[in-house]
Amino acid sequence: MTRLRNLSLKAMATAAAVGTLSVMVAGVASADTAYNAAGTYRCTFPGIPLQDVAITATLTGPDSIAAGSTVTPTNVGGTATISAAVHSLLTAIGYDGIRGLATVPVTAASGTVSGPASGLEIPEVIYPTGGPITVNINQVATSSIPTYTAPAAAGTDTLSVGTPITAALQFHKKSNNTWSNWNMSCTPKTSAPAFSPNFTIT
């Protein structure tokens, strides 16, 4: 019994030591940071001229990245806000819903990005009558997310939303409950927005 008790005490001590080590490691691990960009884009729509759309882009990455290392962001997505005026124009030609997939290019000032984020889902939405429309853009299991490789030297790097943002969309026709295909293209109204904060390279 004494031997079993000693073994049990040793096992408990070992477990406690492992638990303490895990807490210490977790305490020094790099935290995740949300990086955000926002800008006004000029976008193509079916049946109406180019229109302004407020687009935000988001991604999650480490708060610092070792020089020369490669990481893959998560939670890549954003929103596109269609104004009440544009909503009225779409309503006038009979459209009341949207769905599809978006492709968002990302560029780096110093490091490299392996390609655009593609296959970002725009969930099916039938709009309520009137007012602005906020369209969500979400990373899903089938999305293709690029990797980011940091420059060789320590410092900071700026990521920006590339151009154009494109989307393979379907617009819903209220009168006959059908969906019409549309390839949207959006370009920055002034300059491509940068993600904030900058990436810290260590």
CB count within 10 Å of CB 90 equals 21
- Backbone φ, ψ for residue 67 (5° rounding): -55, 135
Amino acid 129: pLDDT: 87
Distance of CA 82 to the CA centre of its chain: 18
Exposed (0-12), middle (13-18) or buried (19+): which is 77, by Cβ within 10 Å?
A: buried
Amino acid 5: pLDDT: 40
Amino acid 59: pLDDT: 97
Structure tokens at 62: 């480490």
Amino acid 31: pLDDT: 66
pLDDT 10s digits, 94-133: 999 999 999 999 999 999 999 999 999 999 999 988 899 9
Instruction: Please check the confidence at residue 14 and state whether its pLDDT lies above 50.
Output: no
CB count within 10 Å of CB 99 equals 17
